Amino acid sequence: MTDLHPALAAQATARTLSEALPYIQRYAGKTVVIKYGGHAMVDETLSAIFARDVVLLKHLGINPIIVHGGGPQIAKLLDRLDIKSEFREGLRVTDDATMDVVEMVLSGTINKSIVRAINTAGGRAIGLSGSDGSLIRARKVSRTVKTQDSALEEVVDLGYVGEPEHVDPAVLNAVAASSEEIIPVVAPVGVGPDGERYNINADTAAGAVAEAVGAERLLLLTDVAGVMDKAGTLLRELPANAIAGLVADGTAVGGMIPKLETAAKAVNHGVGAAVILDGRAPHALLMELFTEHGSGTLVS
């Protein structure tokens, strides 16, 4: 658009805004939960664009709630501190020393950097973790795996890895009801029944938050365009009851599986729809919410 005559560029911008009006009206007053992570979070340009887009959503009368990850940043600090860490069944085994780093990075460094970016873009963000106000009560996760060369199973102790047991939306509702236009930014650290800290997968935490607040949309930002079929074609829409088949036949693999399972669970528990979209694309949020064809894969 920068190559257009200024008058034509202005006209194109005005037309885009006009075409977005029905979608703006559709989401006004609704809550959108955004899982933020991956490349979009570590790229400075994309981070600034994301922050501006979130502020725009708030000014348009939409209530965004951000739940963020931080796996690469956690791994980087663990390496610097020479703390050994391993993954079992796709989850990081989290002992006391690792949990100290997880909480430091998630609830501290990353959370506050997102808050600062949103505030710099003209919004008013506040950083929270699942421990604040007992927002996310968690239970310990365990995994059972078959032993090598045997049909026997063993329980894998993942340490302080948890999953949401209950999300109390009271704090988030209070923030949404305030007249200060505050945007909550939530770190996925939960609290157990005896006060233990638990590291929670950010996709899972975002899904649980979306269910608790009755979100209109759950947006899962990732590093791929969306869900692909076996031919590599983007699936633009996917019914929740088709997800088990995609996992069973190997279409969905790796990190896409928990995203799809989170999306299916969310829409089956009252969330309007969930979308898996490419956080590497500038303005992915706006394209999904305010254009006819959206962006990524919509699970409904």
Segments making up each domain of the chain, as ranges:
25-299
Confidence of residue 273 (pLDDT cuts 50, 70, 90): very high
Cα distances (angstroms) measured from residue 285 to each of 119, 185, 194, 289 = 18, 16, 38, 6
Structure confidence at residue 60 (pLDDT)? 95
Model confidence at 58: pLDDT above 80: yes
Mean pLDDT of the chain: 90
Q: Both tokens of residue 249?
A: 């036949």
pLDDT of residue 164: 96
**Burial of 179 from C-beta contacts in 10 A (0-12 / 13-18 / 19+):** exposed
Res 71: pLDDT: 85
Res 158: pLDDT: 86
The pLDDT value recorded for residue 167 is 97
Task: Give me the mean pLDDT over the 242-262 stretch.
Answer: 88
- Tell me the pTM: 0.91
Closest by alpha carbon to 281, among 202, 226, 199? 226
Q: CATH number for 25-299: choose from 3.40.1160.10, 3.40.33.10, 3.30.930.10, 3.30.428.10.
A: 3.40.1160.10
DSSP string covering the chain, please?
Answer: -TTS-HHHHHHHHHHHHHHHHHHHHHHTT-EEEEEE-THHHH-HHHHHHHHHHHHHHHHTT-EEEEEE--HHHHHHHHHHTT----EETTEE-B-HHHHHHHHIIIIIIIHHHHHHHHHHTT-EEEEEETTGGG-EEEEEEEEEEEPTTSS-EEEEEEEEEEEEEEE-THHHHHHHHSTT-EEEEEE-EEE-TTS-EEEE-HHHHHHHHHHHHT-SEEEEEESSSS-B-TTS-B--EE-GGGHHHHHHTTSS-TTHHHHHHHHHHHHHTT-SEEEEEETTSTTHHHHHHHSSS-SSEEE-
Residue 90 has pLDDT above 90, yes or no: no
Higher per-residue pLDDT: 2 or 101: 101
Q: 151: exposed, middle or buried (C-beta count within 10 Å: 0-12, 13-18, 19+)?
A: exposed
Work out the average pLDDT over 276-280: 93
Q: Is the pLDDT of residue 259 over 80?
A: yes
